[in-house]
Structure 1
Amino acid sequence: MRHDAQGTRSDHNGAGDRALPRLRSHPLLGNLAGDAAASLVVFLVAVPLSMGIAVASGAPLVAGIIAAIAGGIVVASFGGSAVQVSGPAAGLTIIVADLVHTYGWGVTCLITVLAGCVQVALGTFRIARAALAISPAVIHGMLAGVGATIAIAQAHVVLGGSPHSSTLANLIGIPGQLADSHTAAVAVGAVTIGIMLLWPRLPDLGVLRLNRVPAALVAVTAATAIAAAGQWQVERVSLPDSLAQAWSGPALPSADQVHGVAIGVAAVAMVASVESLLCAIAMDRLHDGRRVRLDRELAGQGAGNIVSGAFGGLPVAGVVVRGTANVRAGARTPLACVLHGVWILVFVALFAPFVELIPMAALAGLLVFIGLKMVNLSHVDNLRRHHEASVYLTTLGGVVVLGLLEGVLVGFGLALLVSLRRLTRLTVLTEAANGRWHVVVQGSLTFLGVPRVTQALRTVPVGAHVDLDLNVDFMDHAAFESIHAWRVDHERTGGQVDIDEVHENWYERSSAQAAPNAKTPPRSPARWWAPWGMRPSYDREAPASGLLLAGANEYHASTARRMRSLLTRLAHRQNPKALFITCADSRVVPNVITASGPGDLFTLRNIGNLVPRRDQEGTDDSVGAAIEYAVDVLEVPSIVVCGHSHCGAMKALLDGAHQAPDDEHLRQLRSWLRHGRASLARTGGAAPDESAGPDTMRTLAQYNVVRQLENLLTYPAVRHRYDAGSLELTGMYFDLETARMSVLDEARGEFVAVAAEPVPGQRAAGDPEQRHRSPT
């Protein structure tokens, strides 16, 4: 159960809720055995991938090997990440292929060297973080477009043909390629793709864990063995007799090529830098040791590109697949990455004849699989929550249809437009009750939103008492002057204006600098939803009792007066709209995530939002009592079970805490968690070291919601009213990282995002009709 207390640390590191390997205590040789073992695993992954990327780039095959050696030895020696593995990257394939086709291989090597110099300069001047300003939607869309382009082009090689010069021509030509006569190359490619698909899905056989062997190595080895045994006539890998003979060195461009070479240098440097830095940050999520030093990592990547280009290798960048394999195999220091480069050098020098048995179609099949994997549709779901899926899809389509740089520019332009639209997004809501007007302004309040705010404020009658809530994250001077002028004018005619600022006190600061001429000063920001530690007026070092008293004082000063009339009506009877069952987790606040107030929710909270079956031995009477009271006495029309991400109870279930030996330490907690065994069974009950990543945690938390809804029906009162149609059961899920709610769609069998639309009862400014949404 100790792991539950570490949930905050795990969330901070971004690696989900599973235990992370610790790196702090390892000097360079402090994990020699683990690093050596990991280096062998990464070596086995890197060799076929490096050659495949060289093929897709139109470069000499040995260029991929040289880049893998430089990325392993040089980047790891000078870079700032403890576990990142660098080498030839698929994201650079289209750029390199175009450069080779336009300028030749020698000039491309020079471009790689110059791009490395640019990276070293960027790292030296400590501006690595500027590369992270590019929207992740553009980056993921670019990589997906590159993956689609690679897969479409290499599909022709798998089918026994040759790719065309453009992606559209390759796409159009695939049906004809399928209709042509098939050769042995088709069988080799099919075997490679089939093994890549099936190998990771092999069951765990205990000691014999075949799926731990890299799928790429197995696929290429098997395809090579089958082709050799059948004596198939297929094109095979061709290597020079020695690496010394392979060196072709950078070549100078002609005078008319200088401009294009400069653009190529900028493109390689930008893409390689952004991909490497994003990969390094992703690797940090897999451990809790020293964080990556981005500027040093960028300089190390530049040094690797200088060496790789000078020796006739491809550009290098951080690679997620190899870095992930490195950490999972036990790497803890940069020594693992250095050794993997040494193994590649030794292997090619001593075992080149074995490499030359590999069919080219096997490498093409490997590239088809890798390219399709780069089109990760899960990114679309994640980006859709932030309304950036259009940027991802536009960038993807632009890269495929127009080319890499053109597609990235189109995607970047759309990302800027989306950002500008968000900066101008503003919601103005007005409501009149008991002679008082309530106006809520939400969003970014700039001069573009002034007409809309002014129109809403003009609907307020002369002399009315107005509560103006400024829930804005920014206010410019034009907006301030507009609101302040209206306020002064309204108070001059006998009205009263109370201004609350929920976020930053933009209005208060501006009015303090100007001559306010207002009767009532603006009040301090309420910040009712923010934790104590984020409020500047609170002493973070104060004891909990002091913070509670400070909160009560703020409530009395800013909220109690408004709530008094409401609570007077509710004092003698409650009529909640729902029984809301959720976790006791302090980060989940039911009234905040449902925008509800006093009297709306009858709330039941416990660890893991569990509802023990009524017929289950050891049922908790407090849960049953709350259900019976809500259903039979209060006659709530709805019951909601709400789970959440990063749940400590779900983490404890995956850790097997409910199966721990009985003793006095956390005995009651272990007993309570046994009510979640049925939910755990739906995930297979796998051990955390094998599967308890963020996806498994989310799946278990959502399965748990469904299970508790089923358990509710074991209570006679719930079953009776549910069957009669007077009670509805709803499942919800709250994602802490995105602060988004999802609702269970029973027809689709999955949780879908709740749309951000005006709720019933709210009125948009200037709109006489109410806008409705389906109830949550």
Structure 2
Amino acid sequence: MTHTNHTTRGSRLAARLNPLRSRGSLRADFTASLVVFLVALPLCVGIAVASGVPAELGLVTGIVGGLVTGLLPGSSLQVSGPAAGLTVLVFEAVRTFGLSGLGVLVLAAGLLQLLMGALRLGRWFRAISVSVVQGMLAGIGLVLIAGQLYALADAEAPGSGPDKLLGLGALLVDTAADNEALIAVGLGAATVAVLLLWPRWRAAARVLPAPLAAVLLATGVTAVGDLPVARVEVRGLFDSIQPPGLADFSSLASVGMLSTVVAFTLIASAESLFSAAAVDRLHDGPRTRYDKELMAQGAGNTVCGVLGALPMTAVIVRSSANVSAGARTKASRVLHGVWLLLFAAVFPAALGMIPLCSLAGVLLHAGWKLIPLKDLGPMWREHRAEAVVLAVTALAIVLTDMFKGVLLGLLMAVVKTAWETSHVHVETEDPGEGRPLRVTVLGNATFLRLPKLQDQLEALPADRRVELRLGRLRHVDHACALALAQWEEQHNRVAARTEPVPREESTSSMIG
């Protein structure tokens, strides 16, 4: 009996150490890996095209996400790859620093993630305000939608977010007068319709994920009808990989590149760790070890940077598909990387058949899902300040850029928290005529509440001296303490002109 127990425990331990040793798990993970591969394929290609880089680089990031990050400890079931949430930032980076500069940015961000994981900073990303994260995703979604509306009509999108929005009217007029553009829009709109309707056909959705079904149908229609729409440009997997050279690293000293590295790092890390928390709620398996997961993401991004590929994050769409398909161990995400590698190596010409407008439809759908529309109503009713932070963050990203928008959102979240926690009020006790009023200040006295506090103090009788008591304050900052001391001195000076001060009484304050 003891020998049997030891054998069982040994088998379980071996299965945990090496998922491939468990046949039952391997069968489930094999099936799940195929599902994840089918979901990831159109997204990898579409995100790469929208980011302004060769389509193959999206596949490279997906492959690294499976074969490198997928093997490392952290979160066992979430899947990594190129994310729609970084599309806007990557597009701006490629336009500013070039394709060779992208590798430097991703490599530096990966090394920074490794450092943060080693310093055990992963758990601190859970302290980021949810409204800021939702605002960030909403802003990305809005800019992504605005940009993909141009791609839907096979037109070139303007560079900045405001220009994209301002140019939509001209785009509508130009598209209406161009038959080829109308064909592209119709095909892209049909792609979106398939994405919306396909999941309702449950039998088909279990066999073929909606994104792949939509792209396959659009590709088939394009090929059969020989439609005059733009298609994905194919360079070949190895031709697309362009590792950064030594000369490219010299630009790391510039403020613009350093700020982009920080933006890549913070956004990719936050999105990955928030995804991990969401995936943990979907299954009963081992929980995410946040510092380990941050290091796994850093290792993946370091490799992606060396290869000159897109930055990587954990992606909730692929991760939830992995869990729903019955994955049990990390083998499913590793195998999905294998399938992406085989596809890129064996069927590269297949990419050249995909119409760009259908990928634009996929990304329009993805951008719309980034906007938390269902949460806005309840948030406005119950947590209005959080809704304001979300809206301002999203609007700032659309009007400026990702980095400035997120920084503004974080600043607003900090100010909101400080405002909500700095409650202060005044209690007054009158010990009798001829004696100073005892004024006790309670709560948290910070500069944010100073105007309100001064209004309450100035409402006290001007002809009565006061004895200001601060001993029951939980916190008082320097600005508030100085203002209160000055007010007390000035108030008692004015009161002394109208009220005689008995000698035995002290006008000194009790500052506790």
User: So what's the TM-score if we normalise by structure 2?
Assistant: 0.78
1:414 matched to 2:412? The reply is yes
1:77 matched to 2:71? The reply is yes
For the residue of structure 1 that corresponds to 2:66, the secondary structure is helix
Q: How many Å separate the matches in 2 of 1:240 and 1:146?
A: 28
Match of 1:343 among 334, 339, 343: 339
Q: How many Å separate the matches in 1 of 2:403 and 2:368?
A: 20
Cα deviation for residue 76 of structure 1 reads: 1.4
Cα 1:515–1:295 shift into 2, 3 Å: same
Cα deviation for residue 458 of structure 1 reads: 8.3
- The aligned counterpart of 1:154 is 148
Contact 2:259-2:403 at 8 Å conserved across structures: no
Larger RCO: 1 or 2 (CA < 8 Å, sep 6+):
2
- The aligned counterpart of 1:266 is 262
Contact 1:428-1:456 at 8 Å conserved across structures: no
Cα deviation for residue 159 of structure 1 reads: 1.9
For the residue of structure 2 that corresponds to 1:86, the secondary structure is strand
From the CA coordinates, give the structure whose radius of gyration is larger.
Answer: 1
For the residue of structure 1 that corresponds to 2:233, the secondary structure is coil
Contact 1:199-1:211 at 8 Å conserved across structures: no
Please, what is the CA RMSD of the aligned residues? 3.1
Cα 1:177–1:280 shift into 2, 3 Å: same
Cα 1:196–1:453 shift into 2, 3 Å: same
- The aligned counterpart of 2:195 is 196
How do residues 350-499 of structure 1 correspond to structure 2 at under 5 angstroms? 350-384=346-380, 385-386=382-383, 387-426=385-424, 444-446=443-445, 448=449, 451=453, 475-476=474-475
How do residues 669-684 of structure 1 correspond to structure 2 at under 5 angstroms? none
1:231 matched to 2:226? The reply is yes
For the residue of structure 2 that corresponds to 1:356, the secondary structure is helix
Cα deviation for residue 445 of structure 1 reads: 3.5
Contact 2:423-2:445 at 8 Å conserved across structures: no
- The aligned counterpart of 2:464 is none
**Paired AA for residue 307 in structure 1:** V
Cα 1:56–1:85 shift into 2, 3 Å: same
For the residue of structure 1 that corresponds to 2:102, the secondary structure is helix
**Bigger shift: residues 377-386 or 367-376:** 377-386
Cα deviation for residue 301 of structure 1 reads: 0.3
> Which one has the bigger strand percentage?
1
5+ long unaligned stretches in structure 2? 1-11, 429-439, 462-471, 485-509
Cα 1:429–1:262 shift into 2, 3 Å: same
1:319-349, Cα deviation, whole Å (9 max, x unpaired): 1111111101101211111110101001121
For the residue of structure 2 that corresponds to 1:476, the secondary structure is strand
- The aligned counterpart of 2:84 is 90
**Paired AA for residue 391 in structure 1:** V
Match of 1:119 among 113, 117, 125: 113
For the residue of structure 1 that corresponds to 2:68, the secondary structure is helix
1:587-607, Cα deviation, whole Å (9 max, x unpaired): xxxxxxxxxxxxxxxxxxxxx
Contact 1:111-1:261 at 8 Å conserved across structures: yes
Cα deviation for residue 383 of structure 1 reads: 3.6
Cα deviation for residue 49 of structure 1 reads: 0.4
Cα 1:395–1:212 shift into 2, 3 Å: farther
Cα 1:442–1:240 shift into 2, 3 Å: farther
1:220 matched to 2:215? The reply is yes
Cα deviation for residue 26 of structure 1 reads: 6.2
Count of aligned pairs between the two proteins:
434
Cα 1:442–1:419 shift into 2, 3 Å: farther
Cα 1:445–1:258 shift into 2, 3 Å: closer
- The aligned counterpart of 2:9 is none
Match of 2:51 among 36, 46, 57: 57
For the residue of structure 2 that corresponds to 1:229, the secondary structure is helix
1:123-167, Cα deviation, whole Å (9 max, x unpaired): 111111223332121111111111110111110111232111122
**Paired AA for residue 215 in structure 2:** V
Cα deviation for residue 272 of structure 1 reads: 0.8
> Which one has the bigger helix percentage?
2
1:631-689, Cα deviation, whole Å (9 max, x unpaired): xxxxxxxxxxxxxxxxxxxxxxxxxxxxxxxxxxxxxxxxxxxxxxxxxxxxxxxxxxx
Cα 1:83–1:213 shift into 2, 3 Å: same
Q: How many Å separate the matches in 1 of 2:90 and 2:221?
A: 32
**Paired AA for residue 80 in structure 1:** G
Match of 1:332 among 313, 316, 328: 328
Q: How many Å separate the matches in 1 of 2:511 and 2:131?
A: 45
Cα 1:515–1:158 shift into 2, 3 Å: closer
Contact 1:146-1:399 at 8 Å conserved across structures: yes
For the residue of structure 2 that corresponds to 1:388, the secondary structure is helix
Cα 1:426–1:36 shift into 2, 3 Å: farther
- The aligned counterpart of 1:301 is 297
For the residue of structure 2 that corresponds to 1:104, the secondary structure is helix
Contact 2:198-2:204 at 8 Å conserved across structures: no
**Paired AA for residue 223 in structure 2:** A
For the residue of structure 2 that corresponds to 1:445, the secondary structure is strand
Cα 1:172–1:182 shift into 2, 3 Å: farther
Cα 1:255–1:72 shift into 2, 3 Å: closer
For the residue of structure 2 that corresponds to 1:318, the secondary structure is strand
- The aligned counterpart of 2:103 is 109
Match of 1:316 among 312, 331, 334: 312
Contact 1:140-1:379 at 8 Å conserved across structures: no
5+ long unaligned stretches in structure 1? 1-22, 431-440, 460-471, 483-513, 517-776
Cα deviation for residue 257 of structure 1 reads: 6.0
Q: How many Å separate the matches in 2 of 1:55 and 1:443?
A: 58
1:571-612, Cα deviation, whole Å (9 max, x unpaired): xxxxxxxxxxxxxxxxxxxxxxxxxxxxxxxxxxxxxxxxxx
